[in-house]
Amino acid sequence: MKTLKAILLHALLICIGGMALTPLLWMVSASVMPDGQASTFPPSLIPREVTFSHYASLFTRLNLARYLFNSAFLSLAVTAVSLLVNSMAGYAFAKYRFRGRGPLFKLLLSSMVIPAQVTMLPLFLMLNKMGVINTYVGVIIPGMASVFGIFLIRQFAQSIPDSLIEAARIDGAGDFRIYRSLVLPLCKPILITLGIITFMGTWNDFLWPLIVMTDDAMYTLPVAIANLSLEHVQDVELMMAGSVITVAPVLILFAVVQKYYIGGLMAGGLKE
């Protein structure tokens, strides 16, 4: 009875897993199929023969290396800048007493109900006046600071004992020195979690780069893929190769760091 139940249960779980993974596996498989095989009936799951020609033409004919660089550079830049900016602010909110701290923090938190879409039109006009439309700066600017990031770091930094900071002060360490040599190392777990969330969020972001990047050479991978699909909609295998290159870096990153990512998610979800 118990074994039967276990077998049925696992069969169901495997079915759900199949549904979750089939589109991704088919994407990989179709990306190495010879031309036209993905558009046959009945649909084929396994390539007749494996070819990497679609990957080759993405990099030679279609400038994919450039999009890959844009995506990687922007994701790294936004992650680095925002970790620095958010960690300083989060630390200040956690460990400094100053007038208006409580109300200011509440004000920041309540601003989270405003969706980013509201800011996009004026932000575009502002950046246009500043001359940074179609530049990396234009994508980095709205990602520099995030209330969510400040909140996460503040929660974590509050658990640092005051005595530790006092001791460093007595030893003659200045404010910045304490932040850099004591607080940042202690905050490493939350910085890693936040860094992963920020990196993946920027990598996968679509609407803002679509608005800011007007020139083909500045496209990020998602914008480039969406754009390519307009001309190459019949080229299923080529499009799948492009999708694999877009998805693979974040999936691999997730596989490597999933402990931090899922752990952070579970902790964050509970605290809200």
Partner 1 sequence: MRNNASARAAFLFLFPALAAIGLFFALPVVAALVLSFMDFDIYALADWGNARFVGAKNYTDLLADPLFWKALRNTLYFLVVGGPLSIAVSLGTALLLQVRLVRWKGLFRTAYFAPVVTTLVAVAMVWRFVYHPRFGLLNYALSLVGLGPVDWLGDPDWAMPAIILLAVWKNFGYNMIIFIAGLQNIPQELYEAARIDGAGRWQQFTAITIPLLAPTTVFISIITMIGYLQLFAEPYVMTQGGPLDATLSLVLLMYEQGFRWWNMGYSAALAFILFGLILIPSLLQARLGKQARQP
Structure tokens at 150: 């400040």
CA 8 – CA 14 distance, rounded (Å): 10
C-beta of 53 vs 110, nearer to partner 1? 110
Per the CB < 8 A criterion, the answer to whether 169 and 96 are in contact is: no
- 231 or 272, CB closer to partner 1? 272
Pick the stretch among 51-59, 136-144, 156-164, 184-192 that binds partner 1 (CB under 8 A).
Answer: 136-144
Q: Which of 72, 85, 173, 192 binds partner 1 (CB under 8 A)?
A: 85
Binders of partner 1 among residues 183 to 242 (CB under 8 A) are 200, 203-204, 206-207, 211, 221-223, 225-226, 229, 236, 239-240, 242
Rounded to the nearest whole angstrom, what is the least distance from the CB of residue 182 to partner 1 in the complex? 14
9 lies in the site for partner 1, by CB under 8 A: yes
Task: Report CA dihedral (180, 183, 189, 192) to the nearest 10 degrees.
Answer: -30
Q: Residues near 248 by Cβ (< 8 Å), separated by ≥ 6?
A: none
User: Interaction with partner 1 in 250-269: which residues (CB under 8 A)?
Assistant: 250-251, 253-255, 258, 261-262, 265-267, 269
Measured between its terminal Cα atoms, the distance across the chain in Å is 42
DSSP for residue 111: G
36-55: which residues touch partner 1 (CB under 8 A)?
Answer: 38-43
Rounded to 5 degrees, φ, ψ at 91 are -65, -45
Least distance (Å) from partner 1 to the CB of residue 231? 13
Smallest gap from Cβ 208 to partner 1, in A, equals 11
Is 4 near partner 1 (CB under 8 A)?
no
The answer to whether residues 57 and 232 touch, using CB atoms and an 8 Å cutoff, is: no
Among 102, 122, 172, 185, binds partner 1 (CB under 8 A): 122
How many CA atoms lie within 13 Å of 198's alpha carbon, on the beta-carbon side?
30
Is 179 a binder of partner 1 (CB under 8 A)?
yes
Q: Distance between CA 139 and CA 85 in Å, rounded?
A: 16
Count interface residues toward partner 1 (CB under 8 A).
Answer: 94
In the complex, the smallest distance separating the C-beta of residue 176 from partner 1, rounded to whole angstroms, is 8
Q: For residue 231, how far is the Cα from the chain centroid? A: 27
Q: How many CB atoms lie within 10 A of CB 124?
A: 15
How far, in Å, CA of 67 to CA of 220, rounded? 5
Among 64, 89, 139, 191, binds partner 1 (CB under 8 A): 89
Choice between 185 and 270, CB closer to partner 1:
270
One symbol per residue from 12 to 31: x for binding partner 1 (CB under 8 A), - otherwise; what is it?
Answer: xx--xx-xxxxxx-xx--x-
